[in-house]
Amino acid sequence: METSVLLFDDVNALDVVGPCEVLSKIPNMSIKYVAKQIGAKKTNIQAKLTADYTFSEISNPDILLIPGGQGIKSIVNDEIITKWIRQTHEDTIWTASVCSGALVLAIAGVLRGLKATTHWVKLPCLEDFGAKPQKQRVVIDGKVITCAGVSAGIDMALTLTSLIAGETAAQAIQLAIEYDPAPPFDCGSPDKAPRNIFELVIQKVENQKNN
């Protein structure tokens, strides 16, 4: 099987690496990192991730994975990229997104009429592009699987793995990456976070918009 992961400048690194850590362990899974132009792409963590393939070198991946990040601002306005996503999606077995990658799918027209989710900050925006926003960690509608913000890509990929390769394979991968999460706080969703923490994050998002 083959997974194609879209890379672009200012992609969110964990959106890419979280799910790929899981998917890459599926037997006979090949992962290709693809971009409009090959080369090292800047990420939000000051690390660079390398795209080794351009669109023309990729044909009919089984899984198309679209991560999110600040960089989606420029790629959603790029007709070559959105057209590639739309066309590639037609023949996938699964089309997946992490975090604001769902907005890229939505703007490309892939989520019209579908239940989907994204980072909690962006969730209402999905409706603007004809999707049905769901307040869930992982949402499956037909062959499209979307998930909540950043770290949710790990949960999404384990779910996807169980659908592709079976529960035993998914469980073995979960144990191999010792994914027995124990966050020091219980504030990872807006419903659980104290009000002051919620407002702090909203404020940071507003500041980013203005920069």
The catalytic site residues sit at 99
CB of 186 to a copy of itself, least distance (A): 8
Piece of the chain touching a copy of itself by CB under 8 A; list 68-76, 82-90, 103-111, 186-194: 186-194
Structure tokens at 120: 């909690």
Site string for a copy of itself, 35-54 (x = CB under 8 A): -----x---xxxxxxx-x--
* 66 is an interface residue for a copy of itself by CB under 8 A: no
Give the C-alpha separation, 121 to 131, whole Å: 16
SS3 of the chain: CEEEEECCCCECHHHHHHHHHHHCCCCCCEEEEEECCCEEEEECCCCEEEECEEHHHCCCCCEEEECCCCCHHHHCCCHHHHHHHHHHHHCCCEEEECCCHHHHHHHCCCCCCCEECCCCCCHHHHHHHCCEECCCCEEEECCEEEECCCCHHHHHHHHHHHHHHCHHHHHHHHHHCCCCCCCCCCCCCCCCCCHHHHHHHHHHHHHHHHC
Q: Which is nearer to a copy of itself, 90 or 168 (CB)?
A: 168
Structure tokens at 51: 């795209």
* 168 is an interface residue for a copy of itself by CB under 8 A: yes
* 72 is an interface residue for a copy of itself by CB under 8 A: no
Determine the Cα angle at 181 with ends 2 and 160, to 5°. Answer: 25
Answer for which of 8, 55, 94, 120 binds a copy of itself (CB under 8 A) is 120
* 145 is an interface residue for a copy of itself by CB under 8 A: no
* 13 is an interface residue for a copy of itself by CB under 8 A: yes
* 6 is an interface residue for a copy of itself by CB under 8 A: no
Piece of the chain touching a copy of itself by CB under 8 A; list 60-68, 88-96, 100-108, 169-177: 169-177
* 125 is an interface residue for a copy of itself by CB under 8 A: no
Which parts of this chain interact with a copy of itself (CB under 8 A)?
A: 5, 12-14, 16-18, 20-21, 24, 30-33, 40, 44-50, 52, 99, 119-120, 137-138, 148-152, 154-155, 158-159, 162, 167-168, 170-172, 174-185, 187-190, 192-194, 196-198, 200-201, 204
